[in-house]
């Protein structure tokens, strides 16, 4: 078992109704790999600049994450994002984006990353995702994307989707991608592009899993305090794919494993939002994960008969 | 077991992306009672005008619903609502509201309605809800309301809520009522007003049940075609309270019964939206209800361990 993730490694400055933080460790590959590291062996591919130091690397290494494919661009600066949230924490408002070393990033996978059994293509330019998929011999690949690429690179994104087994997108993005206002129809139309597994992420409302044979929906855990939702979708993906890779190495997943993976994804997303940046997930324990999985079971369980 | 509902009896003219209908039978008390009629004995209290005829009464009587407390106002016209939905079927756009006989409505409960074990106060003026609650000797009462009353009659609504055991509101309404942007905090603040059971309805995203001891969330059933969402919230309430009244007559409900009631509410709401007005629920069978309850179980079930 092994899982490679390609995506952004970033510094995030975030303001929410509960406080603010400057230049926290962030980015899709970081949130994803931290969450996945509780379930399987993970390696990160992505570029950083001179401002990315031992302290940041240590957060990943402390969780056993392989950092050999983190490319240090000499003289460069790390990707930077500044954003804020109002009371509706489902909506991120972007105040500044500095691509920096990400602007000229061309992912190169080492031998170890190439032969990973599972691959996650974080939200980057679809042609880059395709380039990574072409380098990988992994038997199961998944991708995330965003409205920007649907609007500006639809053909590339469609081609990238055709080359993966699983798509994870927000429900609004699935609707936009397929131009179907109905989510079930949008998921089916996405499957027609290639992938057998489609996950619609719905923020605080949870997520839905569509496969050719069934549908599984899990609500979000109602939390009293949500400090910072940044990275929750990537933590979901990390828990989801990390669990799948941890229990199976051949990329063929049974229905119950996929459902449990959805629950673990929800568990990791629910922890992600409890503190700023990576702070909550970085200090998480396996016992806390098991306890929260039970909490999701209690949240959703009912008996059909008395 | 017996359940009395007070609320609107209406003619609805509705346009959705899938078609339009003029002057269909509708209203909160109608949708509620039809859904509840599959689980318990229901009686309707509400006013109608000269335009309300045998055909409309027959829809209720065919489901065994007691119509003795439907008050015929001579020379009056029945409450009328005209609205439409765009592609986002979660949002109803009101084009016309004619209160008609509802403008001067003062609910009077007959002996039979007064002694019903359970009472549902549909979305009407909070002082009217309080008047009905005062007439009832029922051991369990629930109410629905809307943003209009939160804005224009907050004190009356707060007093009405203090006099019931259960509140069913949209999540946005719960947030508005309590001025808490966080739903869990909003539910707790609502319980502090009196009720032990708070249900947050979330449209296509499902519903959450809050009690002093636990939280239960159920997603909406992803449907390929939603024809007309009008009345879905009342059908949910009808399935929820109808089931509770059908299994228990003392108003004290155990956790598993409440969870199953949430599932039956979701079942009835999912049928409600499959056709215009009351058409789908009016022709529903018990076998279809049982099959859909199983569908909700399959939709939400996962095993914690392999």
| CB contact residues (below 8 A), chain B span 90-149, against chain A | none
A183 and B CB contact within 8 Å: yes
Q: Quick one: pLDDT at residue A17? A: 86
A181 and B CB contact within 8 Å: yes
Rounded to a whole number, what is the distance in Å from the CA of B255 to chain A's nearest CA?
Answer: 9
Find, in chain A, the residue whose alpha carbon is nearest to that of B289.
A304
Which of A5-9, A222-226, A240-244 bottoms out in mean pLDDT, i.e. has the lowest? Answer: A222-226
Residues A33-39, mean pLDDT to the nearest whole number: 98
Of B184, B220, B302, the CB nearest to A259: B302
Spell out which residues of chain A touch residue B304, defining contact as CB-CB under 8 Å.
260, 263, 293-294, 297
A26 and B CB contact within 8 Å: no
Q: Quick one: pLDDT at residue B252? A: 57
Rounded to a whole number, what is the distance in Å from the CA of B88 to chain A's nearest CA?
Answer: 7
Residues B5-24, mean pLDDT to the nearest whole number: 94
Residue B132 and residue B215: Cα distance in Å, rounded? 30
Q: Quick one: pLDDT at residue A264? A: 98
Spell out which residues of chain A touch residue B298, defining contact as CB-CB under 8 Å.
214
pLDDT band for position B250 (cuts 50, 70, 90): low
A261 and B CB contact within 8 Å: no
Please determine, for residue A127, whether its predicted confidence score (pLDDT) is greater than 50. Answer: yes
Q: pLDDT over 70 for what percent of chain B?
A: 98
Q: Quick one: pLDDT at residue B253? A: 66
A255 and B CB contact within 8 Å: no
pLDDT band for position A11 (cuts 50, 70, 90): very high
Please determine, for residue B108, whether its predicted confidence score (pLDDT) is greater than 50. Answer: yes
Q: Quick one: pLDDT at residue A90? A: 80
pLDDT digits (tens, 9 = 90+) for A236-278: 999 999 999 999 745 456 889 999 999 999 999 999 999 999 9
Spell out which residues of chain A touch residue B87, defining contact as CB-CB under 8 Å.
181
Find, in chain A, the residue whose alpha carbon is nearest to that of B207.
A219
Task: Say if the Cβ atoms of B262 and A223 lie within 8 Å.
Answer: no
Q: Quick one: pLDDT at residue A5? A: 98
Spell out which residues of chain B touch residue A261, defining contact as CB-CB under 8 Å.
none
Rounded to a whole number, what is the distance in Å from the CA of A33 to chain B's nearest CA?
Answer: 23
| C-beta pairs of B290-294 under 8 Å, 24+ apart in sequence | B292/B221, B292/B267, B293/A304, B293/B263, B293/B264, B293/B267, B294/A304
pLDDT digits (tens, 9 = 90+) for B41-50: 999 999 999 9
Task: Say if the Cβ atoms of A225 and B256 lie within 8 Å.
Answer: no
Which of A70-79, B40-49, B253-262 bottoms out in mean pLDDT, i.e. has the lowest? Answer: B253-262
**How many CB contacts within 8 angstroms connect chain A with chain B?**
109
pLDDT digits (tens, 9 = 90+) for A166-215: 999 999 999 999 999 899 999 999 999 999 999 999 999 999 999 999 99
Q: Quick one: pLDDT at residue A244? A: 95
pLDDT digits (tens, 9 = 90+) for B269-294: 999 999 999 999 999 999 999 999 99
pLDDT band for position A36 (cuts 50, 70, 90): very high
Task: Say if the Cβ atoms of B184 and A223 lie within 8 Å.
Answer: yes
Please determine, for residue A160, whether its predicted confidence score (pLDDT) is greater than 80. Answer: yes
Q: pLDDT over 90 for what percent of chain A?
A: 91
Spell out which residues of chain A touch residue B292, defining contact as CB-CB under 8 Å.
none
Find, in chain B, the residue whose alpha carbon is nearest to that of A259.
B302
Q: Quick one: pLDDT at residue B90? A: 80
Please determine, for residue B130, whether its predicted confidence score (pLDDT) is greater than 60. Answer: yes
**What does the H/E/C string look like for chain B?**
CCEEEECCCEEEEEEECCEEEEEEEECHHHHHHHHHCCCCCEEEEEEECCCCCHHHHHHHHCCCCECCCEEECCCCCCEEEEEEECCCCCCEEEEEEECHHHCCCCCCCCHHHHCCCEEEECCCCHHHHHHHHHHCCCCEEEEECCHHHHHHCHHHHHHHHHCCCEEEEEHHHHHHHHCCCCHHHHHHHHHHCCCCEEEEECHHHCEEEECCCCEEEECCCCCCCCCCCCCHHHHHHHHHHHHHHHHCCCCCCCHHHHHHHHHHHHHHHHHHCCCCCCHHHHCCCHHHHHHHHHHHHHHHCCCCCC
Q: Quick one: pLDDT at residue A18? A: 85
Q: Quick one: pLDDT at residue A252? A: 57
Residues A35-54, mean pLDDT to the nearest whole number: 97
Spell out which residues of chain A touch residue B293, defining contact as CB-CB under 8 Å.
304
A226 and B CB contact within 8 Å: yes
Please list, residue by residue across B177-213, b when 16 or more beta carbons sit within 10 angstroms of its beta carbon and e when fewer do: bbebebbbbbbbbbbebebebbbbbbbbbbbbbbbee
Q: Quick one: pLDDT at residue B248? A: 76
Of B185, B217, B306, the CB nearest to A300: B217
pTM: 0.95
User: Which of A88, A189, A221, A302 is the best mutation test for B, with the most CBs of B within 10 A?
Assistant: A302
ipTM: 0.94
What is the residue-averaged pLDDT of chain B?
95
Q: Residue B112: count other Cβ atoms within 10 Å of its Cβ.
A: 14
A223 and B CB contact within 8 Å: yes
Q: Quick one: pLDDT at residue A125? A: 94
pLDDT band for position B225 (cuts 50, 70, 90): confident
Alpha helices by DSSP H, A12-144:
28-36, 54-61, 111-114, 126-135
Q: Quick one: pLDDT at residue A249? A: 47
pLDDT band for position A66 (cuts 50, 70, 90): very high
Q: Quick one: pLDDT at residue A73? A: 96
Q: Quick one: pLDDT at residue B17? A: 86
Rounded to a whole number, what is the distance in Å from the CA of A204 to chain B's nearest CA?
Answer: 10
Residue A202 and residue B4: Cα distance in Å, rounded? 37
């Amino acid at each position: 078992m092994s899982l490679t993730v390609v995506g952004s490694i970033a510094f995030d400055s975030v303001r929410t109704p509960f406080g603010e933080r400057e230049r926290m460790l962030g980015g899709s590959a970081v949130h994803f790999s931290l969450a996945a590291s509780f379930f399987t062996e993970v390696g990160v591919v992505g570029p950083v600049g001179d401002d990315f130091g031992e302290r940041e690397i240590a957060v990943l290494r402390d969780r056993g994450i392989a950092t050999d494919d983190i490319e240090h661009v000499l003289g460069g600066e790390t990707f930077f994002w500044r954003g804020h949230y109002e009371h509706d924490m489902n909506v991120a408002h972007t105040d500044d984006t500095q691509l920096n070393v990400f602007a000229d990033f061309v992912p190169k996978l080492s031998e170890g990353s190439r032969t990973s059994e599972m691959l996650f293509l974080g939200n980057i330019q679809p042609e880059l995702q395709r380039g990574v998929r072409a380098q990988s011999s992994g038997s199961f690949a998944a991708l995330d994307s965003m409205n920007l690429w649907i609007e500006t690179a639809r053909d590339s994104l469609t081609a990238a989707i055709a080359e993966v087994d699983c798509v994870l997108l927000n429900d609004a993005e699935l609707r936009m991608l397929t131009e179907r206002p109905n989510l079930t129809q949008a998921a089916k139309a996405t499957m027609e592009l290639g992938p057998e597994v489609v996950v619609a992420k719905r923020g605080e409302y949870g997520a839905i899993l569509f496969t050719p044979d069934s549908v599984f929906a899990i609500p979000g855990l109602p939390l009293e305090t949500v400090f910072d939702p940044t990275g929750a979708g990537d933590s979901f993906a990390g828990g989801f794919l990390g669990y799948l890779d941890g229990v199976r190495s051949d990329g063929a997943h049974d229905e119950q494993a996929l459902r449990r993976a959805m629950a673990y994804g929800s568990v990791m997303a629910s922890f992600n939002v409890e503190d700023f940046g990576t702070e909550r997930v970085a200090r998480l324990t396996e016992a806390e994960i098991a306890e929260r999985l039970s909490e999701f079971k209690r949240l959703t369980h009912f008996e059909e008969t008395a």
